[in-house]
Amino acid sequence: MVNNMHETVDIFFKMNINNNDIKQTVEFNNIGKRYIKNNKTFLMFKEPLYEENKDNDLLIICDKNEIVINRSGFINMKQRFKVNEKTIGIYKNEYINSELSTFTNKYDFNNNNIVLDYNIINEEEIIGNYILEIKIKGVRSNE
């Protein structure tokens, strides 16, 4: 793919969440855009928020060593993930504006799949584990 050109792709998103032994799974399909610039893959799509009947814009930036997730809309978040590292990002919604500390257990990325396993940390204690899987299929067209 040529730099600065994007392609339309089908996204399958799955997040397994385990917070204080409360487990839930969030899954959805959507159409997104993917482009490559400076050896990084940029993936943009909408993330539905079922309880709010709204959505967020999601921008995921991947390279072989790290992933950055930017959410904007009802929830605003920016977090960088790098394997075996603790990182600090931001998380904001209408109720909360705080730093978000994470530790990345696993990160795998290729042209068709993203897998990210991380813990959320509060005061040096793990308060949740999140496993994100994104499957990218069905390239629709180059524009």
The separation between CA 81 and the C-alpha centre of its own chain, rounded to angstroms, equals 10
Return d(Cα 143, Cα 29) in angstroms, integer.
Answer: 21
Q: What count of other Cβ atoms lies within 10 Å of the Cβ of residue 9?
A: 21
78 within domain boundaries: yes
Domain interval for residue 23: 6-142
62-81 residue pLDDT tens: 999 999 999 999 889 999 99
84-93 residue pLDDT tens: 999 999 999 8
Checking if the pLDDT of 125 tops 60, the result is yes
Q: What is the mean pLDDT of the chain?
A: 91
Q: Which residue stretches of 26-140 are H helix?
A: none
Which two structure tokens, joined as six digits, stand for 81?
């993930």
Count of domains for the chain: 1
- Model pTM? 0.90
Return d(Cα 94, Cα 99) in angstroms, integer.
Answer: 15
130 within domain boundaries: yes
The reported pLDDT for the residue numbered 5 is: 77
89 within domain boundaries: yes
Checking if the pLDDT of 130 tops 70, the result is yes
Contact between 64 and 108 under an 8 Å Cβ cutoff? The reply is no
Q: What CATH number should be reported for the domain holding residue 24?
A: 2.40.128.20
15 within domain boundaries: yes
1 within domain boundaries: no
Find the mean pLDDT for residues 18-24: 90
